[in-house]
Amino acid sequence: MKIILVRDKGVSATIRVHRRTGLGLLTLALVSVVGGAALAWNLFSASALQFELVDDWEQRLEAQAAVVSELQIRAAAENEAVGRQLARMQARLWRMEALGARVSEVANLDAAGFSFGKPVAQGGPAGKQGSALHRIDLQQQIGLLSLQLREREKELELLESLMVDDEYRKTVAPAGRPVTWGWVSSPYGRRLDPISGHRAWHDGVDFAGREGDDVIAVASGVVTFAGEKSGYGNTIEISHANGFSSRYGHGKELLVEVGDVVDKGQRIAVMGSTGRSTGPHVHFEVRKHGRHVDPARYISRI
């Protein structure tokens, strides 16, 4: 094999190459071309792979950012829900404090030993500390406590209504004596009339005492009559709840007028001996739906 080299000035040179050497050079050239192509392909493939990895990581980061954003939104919503629960529980606690104060007032409980406004006394030696409550456990505890508060509030409201109703019945139903001091001088029913000496029916109970003693209402109500009545002298009549009414006769002085609202135990008259009477006393009657009843059953109720 001859390799002819031509220069610019026309001078040429001839190189003789043996066949084996030429083949070797051709092989080397081919190997170089193939190796370069393979290297270029590898570089291109590596670059494409890197782009794919970067794109994959970007997609993962975007997905994780979306998850974090969703968790933040969920945590904010849960915090708002917990805040609303705590606000409702606080309102119930305030309501229970008011109810407790009302119940203790109605029940005449010792304010110093039964105060809802003071923190609950608790304590004891420090035991082995456990782990802090997780969010789920905290929400469960709050939900349970809220349910218990609702139940206790209902029970307290029911207790208050029962006690108020009982207190209301005590104040509007005739009960007790119409005098602060005195004794029964004539019972209800048949008796010998103290003036005529004949057998007669007595519609009430007489309480004897001293002139000027207090005459009091046996129940809350409205004054329907205040003035002089034949045989009774200066008289007061009071209308109560559930069809009851009471009458107080022979007063020396009347301290209320028609239309006045009186409370149980209120001073309404001064004991005297006006009307058909033999001495200072109060004639006391109880009526139910307009019919006389024995006052003794109501006098004994205190």
Per the domain annotation, does 177 fall within a domain? no
Per the domain annotation, does 232 fall within a domain? yes
Q: Rounded to the nearest 5°, which phi and psi values hold at 136?
A: -65, -45
Position 98 scores a pLDDT of 64
Average pLDDT, the chain: 76
Per the domain annotation, does 205 fall within a domain? yes
Position 214 scores a pLDDT of 96
Q: Would the pTM count as exceeding 0.75?
A: no
Mean pLDDT of all residues in 47-76: 72
Per-residue pLDDT of 261-283, as tens digits, reads 899 999 999 999 999 999 999 99
Q: Which of 69, 92, 109 is the last residue of a domain?
A: 69
* pLDDT of 18 strictly over 90: no
The three-point CA angle 206-210-212 to 5° equals 105
Domain that holds residue 246: 183-299
Per-residue pLDDT of 236-264, as tens digits, reads 999 988 888 999 999 999 999 999 989 99
Per the domain annotation, does 196 fall within a domain? yes
Per the domain annotation, does 141 fall within a domain? no
Per-residue pLDDT of 69-106, as tens digits, reads 777 787 777 777 776 776 777 676 666 666 666 665 65
99 Ramachandran zone, left/alpha/beta (phi>0; psi -120 to 50): alpha
User: Cα–Cα distances in Å, from 14 out to 23, 29, 187, 286?
Assistant: 18, 21, 166, 157
Q: What's the CA gap between 202 and 232, in Å, rounded?
A: 12
CATH code of the domain in which 243 resides: 2.70.70.10
Q: pLDDT above 90 covers what percent of the chain?
A: 30
Per the domain annotation, does 259 fall within a domain? yes
Q: What's the CA gap between 235 and 254, in Å, rounded?
A: 8
Per the domain annotation, does 40 fall within a domain? yes
Domain count of the fold of the chain:
2
Per-residue pLDDT of 122-162, as tens digits, reads 555 655 555 555 566 666 767 777 776 677 666 666 655 65
- Reported as half-sphere exposure (CB side, CA atoms, 13 A), residue 68 has a value of 6
Confidence of residue 107 (pLDDT cuts 50, 70, 90): low
Residue 15 β-bridge partners: 3
* pLDDT of 215 strictly over 70: yes
126 Ramachandran zone, left/alpha/beta (phi>0; psi -120 to 50): beta
Q: Which of 69, 99, 114 is the last residue of a domain?
A: 69
Q: What's the CA gap between 55 and 52, in Å, rounded?
A: 5
Q: Which of 69, 98, 113 is the last residue of a domain?
A: 69
Q: Output the six-digit token pair for 152.
A: 């206790």
Q: pLDDT above 70 covers what percent of the chain?
A: 55
Per the domain annotation, does 100 fall within a domain? no
SS3 content of the chain, % helix, strand, coil (to 5): 45, 25, 30
